[in-house]
């Protein structure tokens, strides 16, 4: 697997955007399109259902050399042998943690943290996060109540953040150049790929633009 620093395209198997596809089918399309990381996000599903989906997806991502990221559920990520667990501010700092070593993770499991402001990004770096997410850059239907942080946060991150970071939130092919011009090298894309009629082709177009 490539290093996180060399990753560019972070995509999602989001249960809200399956549109009749199975998680495994969607994961294969994302891998075929050139994803570097795929996060399994299923906000309304039970842990048992998420485990089942993860167990279906993991052989696909492993075969493709793609990181599988489990959203929120650290014990599940460790149980199935996922590569990364992604946690929000509320799941990490609001839960009383100050450093990722407090999580007592299995060797090799990496931790990503969401951030929505420079102070949160600095705190996440100090906490030992393997990567951080910067956003939401634009308004996004995946988190409709979240206030956009705008490209100013991207510009700040490009000058300040010393760990791999991914811009996230409302990024599409129409605004991608603005995000890249602001200093982003890595992006997370949800609806602009998952709502496309051809997921693999949409991934490849983002990948082409990123490289």
Quote the CA–CA distance of 179 and 137 in Å, as a whole number: 8
**pLDDT tens by residue, the chain, 211 residues:** 899 999 999 999 999 999 999 999 999 999 999 999 999 999 899 999 999 999 999 999 999 999 999 999 999 999 999 999 999 999 999 999 999 999 977 788 999 999 999 999 999 999 999 999 999 999 877 677 778 999 999 999 999 999 999 999 999 999 999 999 999 999 999 999 999 999 999 999 999 999 8
Count: domains in the chain: 1
Q: How many CB atoms lie within 10 A of CB 41?
A: 20
d(C-alpha 8, C-alpha 165), whole Å:
10
Q: What is the 3-state secondary structure (H, E, C) of the chain?
A: CCCHHHCCEEEEEEHHHCCCCCHHHHHHHHHHCCCCEEEEECCCCCHHHHHHHHHHHHHHHHHHCCEEEEECCHHHHHHHCCCEEEECHHHHCCCCCCCHHHHCCCCCCEEEEEECCHHHHHHHHHCCCCEEEECCCCCCCCCCCCCCCHHHHHHHHHHHCCCCEEECCCCCCCCHHHHHHCCCCCEECCHHHHCCCCHHHHHHHHHHHHC
Domain of residue 16 covers 4-210
CA angle 168, 162, 58 (to 5 degrees): 55
CATH number of the domain within which 132 lies? 3.20.20.70
Q: What is the pLDDT of residues 77-133, one digit of tens each?
A: 999 999 999 999 999 999 999 999 999 777 889 999 999 999 999 999 999 999 999
Q: Which of 65, 115, 56 shows the shortest CA–CA distance to 90?
A: 115
Q: Which residue has the tokens 């089942």?
A: 52
């Amino acid at each position: 697997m490539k290093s996180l620093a060399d990753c560019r395209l972070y995509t999602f198997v989001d249960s809200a955007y399956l549109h009749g596809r199975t998680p495994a089918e969607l994961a294969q399309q994302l891998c075929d399109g050139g994803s570097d990381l795929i996060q399994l996000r299923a906000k309304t599903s039970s842990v048992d259902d998420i485990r089942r989906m993860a167990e279906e997806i993991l052989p696909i991502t492993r075969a493709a050399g793609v990181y599988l990221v489990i959203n929120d559920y650290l014990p599940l990520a460790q149980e199935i042998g996922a590569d990364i667990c992604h946690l929000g501010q509320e799941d990490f700092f609001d839960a009383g943690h100050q450093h990722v070593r407090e999580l007592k993770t299995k060797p090799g499991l990496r931790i990503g943290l969401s951030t929505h402001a420079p102070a949160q990004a600095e705190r996440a770096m100090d906490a030992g996060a393997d990567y951080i997410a910067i956003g939401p850059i634009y308004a996004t239907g995946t988190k409709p109540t979240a206030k956009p942080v705008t490209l100013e946060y991207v510009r700040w991150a490009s000058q300040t953040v010393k760990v791999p970071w991914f811009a996230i939130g409302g990024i599409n092919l129409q605004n991608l150049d603005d995000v890249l011009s602001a200093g982003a090298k890595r992006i997370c894309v949800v609806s602009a790929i998952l709502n496309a009629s051809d997921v693999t082709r949409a991934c490849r177009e983002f990948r082409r633009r990123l490289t």
